[in-house]
Chain A
Amino acid sequence: MKNFLKSDYFKILLLALLVRVLIMPFYYHPDIKTYYFQASFLKEGVVNIYSYLESNKSKLPLKEDFVYFPLSYYFLGSYEMLASPFLGSGFKDWLYDANATSMEKVGVFRYLFILKIPYLILDIIIAFLLMSFFSNQEQKKKIFSLWLFNPISLAIIYIYSNLDIISVTLTLVSLMLLQKKHLVLSALCLGLGAGFKAYPLIFLPILILHAEDLKEKIKVVLVSLGTILVIIAPFLFSPSFKQQTLLSGLTTRMLLPTINLGFGETILIAIMPLALLFFYTLLRNNLVKKEPTYYFLIILILLFSFIHFHIQWILWVMPFLLLTLVKKSQLSKFMWFLLVAAFLIPIFYNDSSMSVSALRPISTWFVLVPIPYKIVGFIYDPFIVQSLLHTFFASAALIITWALLKEESKWID
C-alpha cells in the first residue's frame, strides 16, 4: 500500500479521479433517472419490477420498461437505499418529476454525483483488473492510463451513465479467471454478469471451447446457465419480464438483419460471422486457449458490425480492445479508428440526449443547440453518414479479426 501511494499509479489514479469528479455532477443522460426511478420501488417492497411497471404504467410519470435483468434492479435499488440519507429529501420529487424543468431543480448536481458513485467504483476496479493481465510494468502502466484517460469510456460511463459497467466488470473478471484456468468460476462470473444484462452469455462458446473434456464442457454450461436461470427463475413465467427483457435489445437486434432465402427462410447476417468464428476455432483446435482476450474482442466487434447498436454497448468492447491494443500495438490505428467510428455512429442519431442535451444540468438552453443529426442533415443525408461510419467500422473489425486470427494460426502452425 505504501509503495502504491508513492508510485506513479497513485498519481494517475488521483488525476483520473479529479477528471471524473469534475464531469460527474454536470452531465446527464435520461437513462440514469429512469433506472433509478424504477429501482426506487425496491424500497417500497416491490420484488417483481417487471409486473409492477406493467400494471402501474398509467399512474407512473416515467413509463419506460425495465429492460435489464433482475440483479440490476436489486443492485440499483439497494444502492439507492444506502445513499438516500445523502441524496436528501427532494430526491424523490426529482425522480418523479418527468418535466423538463426537473433539470433546473436545486440538488440535481448532488443527485447526479451520488448516483454515479457505483459507476466510479466499478470504473476504478476495471482499471486495476486490466493491470492484472500484465506482468510487464510498462504494459501495466499503459493499460491503466489507457483505461482511465480515454475520452470514450469517460463519456460512456459518466455522461451516458449506463449500468452496463456492472456486466462489463464481471465479464472482465470472467476472462481473468479463464486465463488463470479457473473455468468454473469464470462461468459463474459470466452467469452473474448475465444476471444484470444478458449479453455476457455470448462469450459462453469461448469457455466451452476452452474446456478440456466433455465433462468440463458440461460443467461450464451448467454453471453459467444455471446461475442465470436461478436469477431469473422467479420471473420466468411473468409475461411482463419476457416482454421487457427477453424480447428487447440485443436479442431482437441480432435477428433483424437478414438475407431472404424465400419460403420464409432467412440467413441471419449478425449470427453468421459468429458461427463462422465458432467453426473456425473448432477446426483450429486450441487456438482459443492461447489468447481468449482476442476472442472476447472479436465476438463483439463482429456482432456490432452487423447490428444497430447503442452507444453504451461500446463499453462492452472497451476492456478487451484496450487489452488487445497493448498486446498488439501494430493494430492500434485500426482499433482507435474502430472505437471512434463506433462512438460517432450513435452521436449522429436523431436523439438530442446523445449530444447537446447531455449538458441540460448546466443549462436547459442547450436543448436548442442543433444536434449533429440536424447539422449534417443541412448538407447531406445523416443516415448515409451513419451507414458510411458503420461500413468503415465493420471493415476495420474484419481486418482486426483477420489479423488476430492469422497471427494466432501462425503460432499454432
Chain B
Amino acid sequence: MALLEVRDLAVEYGTERGPLRAVDGVSFDVEAGEALGIIGESGSGKTSTATALMRLLPRNGSVVGGTMRLGGTNIGDLSDEDFRAQVRWTGMAMVFQGAMHSLNPVMRVGDQVGERLLSDGVPKAQVQARVAELLGQVGLPATTARRYPHELSGGMKQRVMIASALTNDPPLLILDEPTSALDVSIQAQIMNLLKQLKAQRRIAMLFITHDLALASDLCDHIAVVYAGQVRELGSAEDVLGSPADPYTRRLLASIPSLRDPAPPAFLPGAPPDLREDIAGCRFTTRCPVVYEPCAEAPPLYDLSSGHHARCWRVGPGGPGVPDDAPPETAS
C-alpha cells in the first residue's frame, strides 16, 4: 500500500460562467520516502490537487469525486476537526508557492516556526529547542530564530518555510513551486536540501512545478497533467527517457537546452477552457499528430509496468507517435 493513494479525484470551482472542473479524475500513488512530480502548465489542476489534499481549497472550490487515502485512512471522510488533528501538518505538510512572502514581517522567525507547537501546549523551553533543531535541519544557524524576516534572503526564508513544514515530522511534504521565486544558484541549494531530507529522513514528497527539468532534480516518478487530467505517469526514466504522450514530448522539446545547440521547439496555443464541454482528447487543439480517433476521449493506457499515457496512438493497435512530428522552430 502506498503512503498516499489518490483515486479519480475531481475538484470543481463555482464561477460566474458556471462550474469549472479543474481536476477531472486524477489518480496517483506516492510511496513512502519517494518523490512524485506533478508537472503542468497554469490551469492544469496541479495546485488544485495539492490544496484539495490539504483541504485548503478556496470557498468556491470543492472536491466532487474520488478518494484520497493517506497511510490507509480515507482522509476525505474525516471531520474538519479530525483532519486538523490527524492530517494537516502532521500527516502531510505543504510549502506554498511564494511562501517566503507569507512570513509575518513583525514576528521573529523562531516565534513563527514555533507558533504551532506553542498553541498545541508544548512548554516554551521545549519549543525553543525544537525550533533550533528544525532550523538546523534546513541548514540555518540556530541564531536565525531571533531574526526578523526582512533580515533574511529569499533562500533563507524558503528554508524557514520548509523548517516550519517539518515541525510535526510529517511523512509527506507537498511542495508547490518551492523555488519559483529564487535565483538559479539558490534554487540549486534548496533542491539539494530537499534531496537530503528525502534521502536521510525518508520524507515522501509531492513536488508541483511547471518545469520538467527541475522535477528531474528530485522526482522518482512523474505525472504530467493537462487540462485537469493525467496525460502521462511513470518513473522519471520512463517519462523523461521514453516519453509516450505527444504533450509530454512537446513539453520536453520546448525546454531550451544548455548543452545542445538544437533550438527548442514550441507548443503553440493554449489549454482549452474547462468550463466548456470538451468532446474527445483535450490536447487536440495543440497536438501535432491528431488523427480520427482523437474525436473521442482516450483512456489512460498502461503501457508497461507503471508507465501510463493518455493517447490513442500509443494504445493497443495504435499507430504510435511518429518521431519526426515536425517541431515548430523559427519561422
A and B together in one complex:
no
Seen from chain B, the residues whose Cβ lies within 8 Å of a Cβ on chain A are: none
Chain A contact residues, CB within 8 Å of chain B: none
